[in-house]
Amino acid sequence: MTSPVAARAADTHCPYCALQCAMRLEPSSTDDFDGLSPAASPVAVSPREFPTNRGGLCRKGWTSAELLSRPSRVTRPLVRQPDGTFTEASWEESLDLIAARLRAARAAFGPDSVAVFGGGGLTNEKAYQLGKFARVALGTSRIDYNGRYCMSSAAAAGNRAFGVDRGLPFRVSDLDDARTIMLIGSNPADTMPPFVRHLESARAAGGLIVVDPRETSTAKLTHAGGGIHVQPAPGTDLVLLLGLAHIAIAEGLVDRHYVDNRTEGFAALRRSVSQWWPERVASVTGVPVELQRRVARRLAEGGAYVITGRGVEQHVDGTDTATAAINLALLLGLVGSADGGYGTLTGQGNGQGGREHGQKADQLPGYRKITDPRARRHVAGVWGVAPDTLPGPGLPAAELLAALGRPGESGGVRCLLVHGSNLLVSSPDVNAVRAGLADLDLLVVCDFVFNETAALADVVLPVPQWAEEEGTMTNLEGRVLRRRAALAPPPEVRSELWILAELARRLDAPSTWPTDPAVVFDELVRASAGGIADYSGLSHERLDAQLDAGRAAYWPFPAGTADASEGTPRLFTDRFAHADGRARLVPVRVRGEVADAAAYRPDDELTLITGRLLGHYQSGAQTRLIPELLEAAPEALLEIHPATAARLGLDDGGRVELANERGRVECRVAFSAGIRPDTVFLPFHFAGDESVNRLVAASVDPISGMPEFKRTRVRVRALRAVGERTVSTGSIRRPAQAVSA
């Protein structure tokens, strides 16, 4: 039983997406909240006026405080027993067990036999300390995080084109005056609803363009005002973008003064897109020629923004597709202009900050490359260790998970520490991930909910929730925010900072391991000084002062930044981050399979795309615990076109099986005339038989390591009930042992 909780008022931000809507927490009307009642919460949530959310919250934000009182909250360390059950244990016992097994694995198999998997929801302080712990206390290169599934392709594209990666290199509020906004592969009306308010100007001007195979909630916004919904075949966004660039060049829509003075590589880019004339693009994408021309011409009229999302990036050619979107924006002179630009919508709450300060396999704090000798010297100096003791680059997430449980193999991982990620729902090829986790010598999960991954752990460590901790987050526009605590966590819950410090002590790690978030942040800013993501002019105290004065703090925010400054709210106004100040137009090519239109219209297969629902978030580990959110979307529904369903003999609301060589999923059908007939959609928030990532391959973009979540071949068959079992009514019979109970 938890002790009574005394809450206090606090201004903070939503625990969910990267829009980081501002909210105020007030003590609930219950004087002594005991933490046990599922119908109560220790704090009440209300929105605050803030540039990103304008005083609004989505249903996830409004219900966020309910998560603080869920009965399934983990409040004490849990240790798996030989019979598979969990028992509560002391912190001393739990940490001693973890340290002993970590030591044994490192002694037997080397430091890279131990791995760390982080999360894009961790505060900057925890993300920084986790990267430091991996490289200094464990000596391992094997660290990555679930942001690899979210932002890695856009980040790689931004780095090679601009020399820097910041999701939106401008304020969200800059969109308020846009005449045209093209959203390609993004559905913010469901994923971050308050963002939609920033689309109103473009929508009213008839300039909202949504590119998506589905008629999403965002695509429906184009119905009024003369907007445009473009529905290319799944996985053909790259072809469409190359075709738009071809039209821009062929019709003289290119801003040649901008291109000549601010970019490099135009001649090579022009040659590379010459083969993608509109008729050929139409044959591959299914987008009519006149619609292609209409989109290109509208973007060239000025006041335009091109914004990408996961639908573009979660492909094996995601980096090239994001690059093609950047190329288009550069050709039209949008990037860095006063009334236009290019950006990508970061998904997770701290997806931006989480990748800046050390969770990524190849990065050190400040967005430094771990292979750069100067970067290694600088960060090692802050940490008080020799540069040559720091490991080199590790493995991106999917490759890291593929190395689980391989004794004796080079790069095999025997122990895994997971912080803020639910691998058994969010990762590709979930069945293979489950097998790898089961083969480990040690799996440790730090979380506040007992999720699907925790159920396989050897040790589960309870950590604070968002309303119980201090720290900082960095939102999708590069704004550094303060997370403030409104109440103390339950008595036996410990911060990740404390956990890492205690493990570092047990492992006799060098350096210092502070547990105060403000002190950790002070170290983070020193480590970031001079890097691309320079926070060196910031501190918790200064951030509080900035907010009290009504000012934001955008990175880069180097030491010496004037008191009245907001840092760098808009990048690229004068120069890009490459040494010569110019952006790079990078030619990209289309792979043969994508170029073959027939590959995406087979008779016996459909293309499965995955995504999010309005009421759920990421793996659903949190939102599936909130009754209001679960009641609104209690199960995964397969969105399919009625004509396709008729051909396959499916009933609206009936149960179906999706299957391929990796696995099978059972769910119900929901008809939608707004999806392409060759495409089906299934959300990824659900577990068990509804876990769509059972079907998704671990194929990745060779540049970014991003898995191919948005283009999976599946067969769909109707199921009929036989007693309590379901069996396929399709033409291909499944083996008896595969019949699901």
* CA-CA-CA-CA torsion sign (20, 22, 28, 33): positive
Q: Which residues contact 358 (CB under 8 A, 6 or more apart)?
A: 127, 128, 130, 131, 132, 135, 143, 364, 365
Q: What is the pLDDT of residues 498-538, one digit of tens each?
A: 999 999 999 999 999 999 999 999 999 999 999 999 999 99
HSE-up (13 A, CA, CB side) for residue 740: 19
The pLDDT of 34-56, averaged and rounded, is 80
What's the whole-model pTM score? Answer: 0.93
The pLDDT of 237-255, averaged and rounded, is 98
Is 428's pLDDT higher than 90? yes
Q: What is the pLDDT of residues 264-285, one digit of tens each?
A: 999 999 999 999 999 999 999 9
Distance between CA atoms of residues 528 and 629, nearest Å: 39
Place 326 in a pLDDT band, splitting at 50, 70 and 90: very high
Residue 692, both tokens: 């769509």
Distance between CA atoms of residues 94 and 62, nearest Å: 36
Is 603's pLDDT higher than 80? no
Q: Is 396 within 8 Å of 428 (Cβ atoms)?
A: no
| Residue 729 pLDDT | 41
Distance between CA atoms of residues 113 and 246, nearest Å: 49
| Residue 300 pLDDT | 98
Q: In what order do the strands lie in the sheet with 208-211?
A: 228-230, 208-211, 180-184, 304-308, 341-344
Is 219's pLDDT higher than 70? yes
| Residue 2 pLDDT | 38
| Residue 596 pLDDT | 54
Phi-psi sector, 207: left (phi>0), alpha (psi -120 to 50), beta: alpha
Where do we find the tokens 């194929």? 699
| Residue 409 pLDDT | 63
Q: Which residues contact 641 (CB under 8 A, 6 or more apart)?
A: 671, 672, 673, 675, 676, 677, 679
The pLDDT of 54-77, averaged and rounded, is 93
The pLDDT of 492-499, averaged and rounded, is 98
Of all residues in the chain, what percent carry a pLDDT higher than 90? Answer: 89
In this predicted structure, which of 119-123, 371-375, 408-412, 512-516 has the lowest mean pLDDT? Answer: 408-412
Of all residues in the chain, what percent carry a pLDDT higher than 70? Answer: 93
Place 611 in a pLDDT band, splitting at 50, 70 and 90: very high
User: Nearest Cα to 248, choosing from 318, 186, 332, 357?
Assistant: 332
Place 71 in a pLDDT band, splitting at 50, 70 and 90: confident
Q: What is the pLDDT of residues 432-465, one digit of tens each?
A: 999 999 999 999 999 999 999 999 999 999 999 9
The pLDDT of 209-225, averaged and rounded, is 94
The pLDDT of 697-704, averaged and rounded, is 95
Is 321's pLDDT higher than 70? yes
Is 545's pLDDT higher than 70? yes
- Output the average pLDDT for the chain: 92
Is 241's pLDDT higher than 70? yes
- Domains, the chain, with CATH or none: 10-69 (2.20.25.90), 78-145+359-462+494-532 (3.40.50.740), 152-344 (3.40.228.10), 596-738 (2.40.40.20)
Phi-psi sector, 34: left (phi>0), alpha (psi -120 to 50), beta: alpha
Is 65's pLDDT higher than 70? yes
Place 724 in a pLDDT band, splitting at 50, 70 and 90: very low
Q: What is the pLDDT of residues 356-370, one digit of tens each?
A: 999 999 999 999 999
Where do we find the tokens 């990524």? 360
Where do we find the tokens 């080397």? 110
Place 387 in a pLDDT band, splitting at 50, 70 and 90: very high
